[in-house]
Structure 1
Amino acid sequence: MLENCNNGGLTTASLSGKPALPNDRRQHARHVSVLRVAKINTPRSEELCLVRNISGKGMMVHVYSDLCVGDPVSTEFNSGKPIAGRIIWHREGMIGIEFDESLDPDSILSGTNSVPAAPHPRPPRVGLELHGRIRVGSRYQTVTLCNISQGGANIRPSEPDTVLEKVVLMVNGLPPIAGSVRWQDEEHAGIEFDIPVSFEVLARWVPSVRRQG
């Protein structure tokens, strides 16, 4: 089921059937069930996670590394607006996050909680500093992987003057990923993958890279 979580999209949503409450309490009592990819920033690193449900006071999240109760965290959806909170429980790969302040779950999921709103929402990207290679035709070039999402990556080529188009990105622990360079400047290039990387593959890979580093 997790294989279908491409590009951070919302795949399911439902509201609980609880009786209506006064307006100032309804957003806190309402729980929205979701399957939404997000980025979670912890005191030690950042990684991808899967949000299972959310309310005005917090959310339940599936994570892929060891986190501790009491840790401060912030979570980002497509809008890029961080939502601060702390971990209040942790068991079997799931954590409960309590927000630092009450929020409207609908605005979080739609991205309208971002001020100003993100002009071009994109899948959550995880920052890295990892050596790899790209293949351009029959030639190979070393690169530094700066960040990655299910849909693309930012790289720093060792030969920045080379004009890139179609490439295959290769880094330890992931299969070769074909893509197209959508932009390039004096130092970096942005790759859009031909086929999005499986969420679970990427979510498990990021913590493994952190541990090896």
Structure 2
Amino acid sequence: MSMLDFLRRKPAPPLEALDSLDTRAAPRERICIPVTVDTGCEWYDAVILDLNMRGARIYVEDESPRLRPCLGQLLAVRPSGGVPIAAQVRWREDRHLGVQFLVNIHAETLSMFRSASQQRLQPRPSRARVGFDVEVVFGEHRQTARLTDISSSGARINGVSEVDVGTPMMVHLEGLMPIAGHVRWVDGEEAGIMFTRLLPIGSARYIAEQGLVSRLWLQEVIEQHDSANPLN
């Protein structure tokens, strides 16, 4: 059976039956592993926050109001460059999912997750609430929009139209070099943008000064650059 056929199967056991399957015999290990959650019709960027051989707690980074995996749903958890792991949703709270693997993962896989885990648990960069007028350019469109929040890796834009998920986009903020990214989600005239590269420190400093943003946010952007370039 292909992975797509597997994902198209109907959610199997009722939740009452699922509750009897999880004894949590093995302790969970706190890690931070980027993964993709694939439901067969949609996919989400996410981070595994803790796991053992039987299951994991996953943080869905996409903050769009799209319907996320529901209780009992079958899905595939795909580590970057790794083999997808078949799982079923056991619980959901906001953007956190508890999943149970359909087949226990091997010790070698656990070891791989440990070695790939980041030093600090940081599911997503902090967002700074701002209010800048920007110009966005995508395809043949050039539109004026409102930048409502921003992090080192992405932003929320309000007031865009005729844009689709996956569309490359340039965000022009007066006084700064254009910021390149692509559309991660769309809800009406609102869209989430993921930057192609980390927000430059100079741009972050300008935004912090002009938008009256906390220096703690600016410091986090600087630390993320340091983490991405440890030898610099």
Instruction: State TM-score, norm by structure 2.
Output: 0.38
User: Relative contact order: is structure 1 or structure 2 higher (C-alpha 8 Å, sep ≥ 6)?
Assistant: 1
Instruction: State TM-score, norm by structure 1.
Output: 0.41
Q: Which has the higher Rg, Structure 1 or Structure 2?
A: 2
